[in-house]
Structures are given as C-alpha cells and as structure tokens.
Amino acid sequence: MTPNILYIEDNPDNTMLVRRALEARGYKLLNSVTGVNGVNIAETEDISLILLDINLPDIDGYEVARRLRASPKRSLASTPIIAVTANALKGDAEKALNAGCDVYMSKPINIRELWARVEAFVPMP
Amino acid sequence: MTISHLSHLQCSGCGQEYSHQEVHTFCPTCQSPLLAIYDLQEARQQVDRDEISRRKKGMWRWSELLPVLNIENQIFLGEGDTPLLSLPHLEKELGLSHLYVKDESSNPTGSFKARGLAAAVSKAKELGIQKVIIPTAGNAGGAMAAYAARAGLKAYIFMPKDTPFANIEESRMAGAEVALVDGLISDAAGMAGEKARAEGWFDVSTFKEPYRVEGKKVMGYELAETFDWSLPDVIVYPTGGGTGLVGMWKAFAELEELGWLENTKRPRMVSVQADGCAPVVKAFQAKASFCDFWINAHTIASGLRVPKSFADHLILQDIYESEGIAIAVSDEAILESQKQLASMEGIFAAPEGAATLAALKELIQQKWVSPDERIVLFNTGSGLKYLDHKS
C-alpha cells in the first residue's frame, strides 16, 4: 500500500518540488494550504508522516503540531512530524521540537536530505 | 582575455549541469550546492604547474583553475599565499616531528574568508550583479564588504548582534549596510534569504552560490605546492559552514586529475567544532549523511556557531572519504590553546584556529595521529578581531 505523506504548506512552488521528489520515490503526497485543514486531513485520512511548514496563513505550525499531538485520533500522537521552515528565527527549532515535531529542517529543502529523513520513518514503498 | 578552464556548474546532489555564463545560486531541482567544474584535461595540456609557482604571489596566480573568465574582473586585495609555519615549540611539547600551521590571518580583512569572497565577488561582478547580500558569523561580512567596495557593488550584511565588534565596524567602514540580528547565523541566513528574494539582492551565503568554495580551494593548492606537490598526512580544520574543508578536498581531486601531484596519498581531514555547536561531530558519530539542526548553539568561536551547514552532506562525505574524523572541543580548551599558540609560537590565533590545536591534543591522546606524521593546523583568522572576549 502506498504510504500517504501530508504536506501542510501554502507555497505552491515548495509543494510542487516536494511532490515531485516524494512521488518519484513511490509516496503519495496530500497537501493542505492551511493549518486547520491540515489537522482535519490528518484526522480523516491514513497518514504515515507529516511535513509541516511553520508559517501558515491561519494558525502557525507550532499550533498545528500541538493539535495533532492532542488529537482524539490516537495514532497522531506518534505520527512522525518533520517541521520545515524558511523563517529561521531565533528559537524556531526549539519551539518546533517542543510543540511535538520530531525533526526540524530549514529551507531550502535539500531533496536528498528530505528522502533520507522521510525514509528513516517510512521506508520507501 | 579568457584564461579560466571553467567548463560548467554541476549539482553536488543530482549531477544536473548548468551554464557558468548565467547567474545561479543552488540547484533548483534538488536544492543542493552547485560546484564549478573545469576542463582539467585541457588544463593539463596547457598549464604548467611550475610556471604558476613562478608567478607573482596571490590567489589569482591560479587563474586557470578559478572561475573568473576575464582577468579584468579579478578583485585583488592581496589574498592568498599565506605562510605555512612550523611550530617547533609545540612539536616538542606534544611529541611530534612535523607540525605546521597554515596561518590565514595575513589575508586581507584578517581571515581566510577573503579568499572565498574575492572569488565570489569577482564572479558576481563578471556576471553583472550589482547588489550582494550575506549572512555571516562575522569575518565573511567584513571580507564581503571590502571586496564589494573594491568592485563597486552594494553590500548588505546580516550578522548576529553579538558578532565581534571588529567585524561590525570593518563592514560599516567599507560602506556595507549592516543589520544586527537577535539570533545566530541561521537566523541571519533566514532574513538575508527573505530580503534577497524580495528585493533582488544576490545571496552570497555559504554554498548557496558556487564560487566562494573556489577561492577557498586554493588553500589546498598552496599546501600541495609548499609540500613539493605532495600532501600532508593530516589536516585539522575548524568547521562552521565547511567551505574550506570541502574546497581543499576538491582541490586535491583536481590536482590529482591534473597529474600535478608527485604522491597522490590524500590527507585525513579532521573537522573541528565546539562542544556548544557540534552538528558535524554528532552526525559523524552517528555515521549519518546529514546533520541535525543544532539547538541552542553557543561558543566563543563565533565562526563555529553554525547550527547546520547548507553543505553538511559534502562535509561529511569528504571526512568519510578521507578516513578522517570530526571532533568537538570546549571553549576552555580553545582559550588555553589560543594562549599556548601565542605564548609558545607568537601566533595570536582566532578562537576557531586555536580550536584546531585543542583538537590535536585530543587526537594525540586517542593515538589517532602518530608522532612522525605531517600535520597541518589551520588558523583561519587573527585573534585581534576577537578582543571583545578579552575585555
């Protein structure tokens, strides 16, 4: 079965880059451009891993991570979350990890690193 | 007049090729650093290494192997050909026979950053770029400001607000606009990147353009030449962004392909970081291909406060390939070694440079180096730029 990866990101260029990279490795990418909708998708779909931008148009990525970890859908407590942000402000990495993310990556996303990070949690199908 | 044997740019991740006649940052396909590739077969036929040795001193005597096509675009402030000094008193103290320091503090603006920025700013000028921007832990900002001033380019610099005062002041004196950031170089990089995208400044961040590493690689050429076209056994190098380490490894490969080395045995590369910011060390110990972002980076060696290099995979790849090692040292050990270098050998090293001596002492204890090996430490800059810590 093809693993679903959810990318919560409002920038279409980033989404296209990541989609191309992950689909080339056999993953299926679902995308949400808002945090609230991203949480909804995670709660309704079978998601193996979440890529989470921090700067979103509604709630920020930290709040998304907190809601995912507190979700009534208990599997989301342990679904891997990789935080991804361009806005590397002081303490962003700490905040992302404290909010429940497993890994922090800064943009620009190196695709080979993305593959390695994703495959560490979800083996390539 | 075109003198360079530059052929094209190539992505270090996916291998995609790009034209060197156009402005490029990093690979748009896989977002890895681009590296400059030369036609070394052609260079092998046309360039005489001994003729290079007879040229006027300076980085640009290696012009055929540097990326600037037209010599009129080379910005020269005296960079390169730094001394390789023996360390007789430390040799005796540490029980070694062949210990040297490549002292980069004699470069313009007092650090090795001059080499990379000389190449990058010269190439930027050649490509018609007029505004350059850089995030920096300190010395790269001063160097960029100086070369941009000489080239007639506008310079914008983002640096942490606790960057040594000398770096802030030298940048401003050279006419650069300086923004002080409440954070680390990674924070500065985020802001510089945003400004570059929003206002069309060319981002000269470490490895986010292909040419700084070309200036740094000349350290490798100079070492080979000084050692009569062989290479030392061990190079101990402080690693922040890693341009020098990656650059030297690239230089050694190029020299080998040119057939200029009398002995192709490569050195073991030692990457030195600080206990308070050691992403490469952590990744090396885990045998990883990439670094994790280092949380709460802190060290007196501001050039080592790099939570994650954009070229981390290249740094690690080169350490592994060289059968080298990555090692972290404490700030106390750095300060002690800084004093030792000054009091025993008369070299007032930057903390980053002093870190290499601290690391070497650890490596001797671990018996990772043997007494008869030829070992080169790198002092990347002058201690005079870090007097804030002494007050």
Question: How many beta-carbon contacts under 8 Å exist across A and B?
Answer: 64
Nearest chain B residue to A21, by CA: B30
pLDDT at B88: 98
pLDDT at A89: 61
Which positions ≥6 away from B316 have C-beta within 8 Å?
Answer: B280, B283, B284, B288, B289, B290, B291
Q: What is the pLDDT of residue B389?
A: 64
DSSP per-residue string spanning B108-168 = GGGBTHHHHHHHHHHHHHHTT--EEEEE-SSHHHHHHHHHHHHHT-EEEEEEETTS-HHHH
State residue B191's pLDDT score.
85
Residue among B232, B213, B229 at smallest CA distance from B310 = B213
Q: What is the mean pLDDT of residues A70-77?
A: 97
Distance from CA of A44 to the nearest CA of B (A): 31
- The amino acid at B116: G
B382, β-bridge pairs = B349
Strand ordering across the sheet containing A4-8 = A28-32, A4-8, A49-53, A81-85, A103-106
Looking at chain B from residue 3 to 22, which residues have their Cβ under 8 Å from any Cβ of chain A? 13-14
C-alpha to C-alpha distance for A76 and A100, rounded to whole angstroms: 11
What's residue B175's pLDDT? 97
Write the single-letter amino acid at A72: P
**What count of Cα atoms within 13 Å lies in the side-chain half-sphere of residue B204?**
34
Mean pLDDT across B228-250 = 98
Residue B391 has pLDDT above 60, yes or no: no
Closest residue by Cα to residue B240 from B292, B279, B283: B279
Out of B32, B293, B310, the one facing A104 most closely (by C-beta) is B293
Give the pLDDT of residue A85.
85
Q: Enumerate the H helices of chain B as residue ranges.
A: 40-46, 49-54, 88-94, 113-126, 139-151, 165-173, 185-199, 212-226, 243-258, 279-285, 312-321, 331-345, 351-365
Identify the residue whose tokens are 């990093």.
Answer: B26
- For residue A107, the model assigns a pLDDT of 87
pTM of structure? 0.95
What's the whole-number mean pLDDT along residues B4-32?
A: 97
Which among A86, A94, A116 is the nearest to B290, CB-wise? A116
| ipTM, two decimals | 0.89
- Report phi then psi at B146, rounded to 5: -65, -45
Residues of A with Cβ-Cβ distance to B317 under 8 angstroms = none
Residue of A89, A106, A111 lying closest to B308 (CB–CB): A106
Residue B289 has pLDDT above 80, yes or no: yes
What's the DSSP call for residue B267? P
- In this prediction, residue B235 carries a pLDDT of 98
Could you tell me which residues of chain A have a Cβ less than 8 Å from any Cβ in chain B? Answer: 17, 21, 86-91, 93-94, 97, 103-106, 108-113, 116-117
Cα–Cα distance for residue pair A111/B308, rounded to 1 Å: 16
- DSSP 8-class letter at B385: G
Position B2 scores a pLDDT of: 79
Structure tokens at B207: 């490895």
Q: What is the residue-averaged pLDDT of chain B? A: 96
Provide the pairing of β-strand B154-160 with B177-181.
Answer: parallel
Which residues, listed in sequence order, are joined to residue B237 by a DSSP beta bridge? B271
Question: Which segment of A28-37, A102-111, B108-117, B311-320 scores lowest on mean pLDDT?
Answer: A102-111
Report how far residue B22's alpha carbon sits from residue A94's, in angstroms, rounded to the nearest whole number: 38
Q: What is the mean pLDDT of residues A104-109?
A: 91
Average pLDDT value over all residues in chain A: 94
Virtual torsion, Cα B111, B116, B118, B120, nearest 10 deg? -150
Each residue's pLDDT tens digit, B176-229: 999 998 887 878 888 888 888 889 999 999 999 999 999 999 999 999 999 999
Q: How far is A12 from chain B (nearest CA, A)?
A: 15
Mean pLDDT of A28-34: 98
Q: Which of B25, B191, B289, B290 would you mutate first to test chain A, the one with the most A CBs within 10 A? A: B290
Portion of chain B with pLDDT greater than 70, in percent: 99
B14 contacts in chain A (CB < 8 Å)? 111-112
Residue B280, min C-alpha distance to chain A (Å): 15
* Residue A36 pLDDT greater than 70, yes or no: yes
Q: Which helix (H) or strand (E) holds B277?
A: none
Question: What confidence tens digit (pLDDT) does each residue in B65-107 have?
Answer: 999 999 999 999 999 999 999 999 999 999 999 999 999 999 9
Contact A49, A119 (CB under 8 A): no
Question: Residue A92 and residue A81: Cα distance in Å, rounded?
Answer: 15
Give me the DSSP letters along B360-377: HHHHHHTT-S-TTSEEEE
The enclosing H or E element of A124 equals none
Mean of pLDDT values over B224-238: 98
Supply the pLDDT for residue B154.
97
Residue A72 has pLDDT above 60, yes or no: yes
Compute the average pLDDT of residues B255-262. 98
Provide the β-strand partners of residue B178: B157
Parallel/antiparallel/unpaired status of strands B177-181 and B234-238 = unpaired
Under the banding of pLDDT at 50, 70 and 90, the label for residue A92 is confident
Find which of A25, A84, A87, A112 to mutate to test the B interface (most B CBs within 10 Å of its CB). Answer: A112
Picking from B190, B293, B308, the nearest residue to A89 by CB comes out as B190
pLDDT at A90 over 70: no
pLDDT above 90 covers a percentage of chain B that reads 89
CB contact under 8 A, A93 and B293: yes
What confidence tens digit (pLDDT) does each residue in B48-69 have? Answer: 999 999 999 999 999 999 999 9
Q: Measured between CB atoms, which of B186, B208, B295 is closest to A94?
A: B295
Look up residue B45 and give its two tokens: 């036929």
Contact B30 A111 (CB under 8 A): yes
DSSP structure string for B32-64: -BEEEEE-HHHHHHH--HHHHHHSPSSGGGGGG
